Amino acid sequence: MKLVLASNNPHKAAEFERLLPGYEVEPFGGELPEETGASFRDNAELKARHVHRAIAGADWVLADDSGIEAAALDGRPGVRSARFAGEGASDGQNLAALLAALDGQDDRSVAYVAELIAIAPDGWELHARGELSGTLAQEPHGGGGFGYDPAFVPEGETRTVGEMSADEKDAVSHRARAAARLEAQLDSAAVITDRLLLRPFQHDDLEAFRPIWADPEVMEFIGAGGAREGEAAERLLAALIDSRERHGFGLWVIVPHEVGRPVGWAGLMVPEFLPAVLPAVECGFGLGRGWWGRGYATEAAAAAIAHGFERLGLERVISIVYPDNVRSIAVAGRLGMRHCGDQTHPATGRALRIYEKLA
C-alpha cells in the first residue's frame, strides 16, 4: 500500500519505509502549510489534511511532527524544537540554546515526542504517538543522528543517541515507537463485508452516536448499563479512540453500504474493566434500536472475530454478556461461541456470562 508523506524530504520518506515495512512511502513534493499548531498533533493534522485535500483522496496520506520536551522548561522547546534558537537556526544552535536553558537545573529530564497521522482515501484518520524519555547530557557527545541527538541520553543508556548506530536508534526512537503503533492500527484499520463498512471511530462521529448512546434500551447492557449523554458520551468516544491507539485494534463504526452513515459499533477490545478474565480480547457489538433484527451485529462481529484470528493471530476471542441480554446471547450462538464461565461486574455486582470462540 502506498502512503503519500506530507514532506518534501526523500530521506524522511526512506526512514518511514524502514519503520513501516511493506508500505511504499512517497514524499508529497508540493507546497506544505505553515506549522502553526499548538502541539505536535495539531501540526501533523495540518499537514496531513492539506495533502489529503491536495491529492483529492487518491491515496493514503502520512504526516508527522516531532520534537523534544524538557520537564524543567514546562515542555519547551516542544513545537518550536526546530527553531528554538530562532528562525533559521541550525541543529547545533538549537542544541546550544537548550543546553544553556537547562544550565544549572537539577531536573534535566527530557523526552522526544513523535505524533503520526494517517488519513484514508475517504477521509477517516488514525493517530499514533511515540515517546522516548531520557536526560540531557551536560555537553554533546557523538556525531551521529541530528537535532538534539548528541546530548540526548535515553533511559537505561549511558550513551547519547548521537553515539548510537542508526539501527540502534531506529530500534528505540520516538518515531519508531509511533510508527509501530500506527502500523498495528493500519493492519486493523477497516474491513468491508457484503453489506457493511467497518471503520475506526472518529471524533466527528459524536453527533451520529449521541442519540444511540442516549437510548436507555440500547445501552441497558453496555458496560455498567445506562444511557451516556452529554459529557458522558464525549468521554466514551474519547475512550474508544484512545483504546485503539494504545492496543492497535478496537471497535469499529458499522456503516451499511445502503445507508451510508453509522448505525452501531462492533469490533475487538481489551476488557480492562474485568481483570478476572485478562489476558483476553473481547468481541463487542451494539446497534441503534432502529437497526435491530437485520443481522448487522452478527455480520460485523463475525468479521471482527475472523480479523482477530487471521490478522492479529489471536487464539481465543471472548464475549461478555449479561444473562438477560437475550439478543446478544443469540448473536454469540450464531457466531459459534460457547458459554465458558461466569463473572460479576466489579462496578455493579451484576452477573455476567463469558462466551468464547477458539481459533
**What is the per-residue DSSP string for 209-244?**
HHHHHT-HHHHTTSTT-S---THHHHHHHHHHHHHH
Catalytic residue among 42, 59, 64, 65: 65
Strand ranges in 188-337 using DSSP code E only, listed in sequence order: 191-192, 196-200, 251-256, 264-269, 282-287, 316-321
Report d(CA 136, CA 33) in Å as an integer: 31
Rounded Cα gap, residues 345 and 299, in angstroms = 27
Q: Work out the end-to-end distance of the chain between its first and last CA atoms, rounded to an integer number of angstroms.
A: 28
Residues in contact with 325: Cβ distance below 8 Å, sequence separation at least 6, in sequence order: 220, 221
12, containing H or E segment: helix 10-19
Catalytic residue flag (residue 65): yes
Q: Which three cell numbers stand for residue 94?
A: 538549537
Q: State the DSSP H helix or E strand holding residue 356, giving kind and residue range, or none if neither.
A: strand 351-358
Report how far Cα 242 is from the mean position of its chain's Cα atoms: 6
Residues annotated as part of the active site: 65
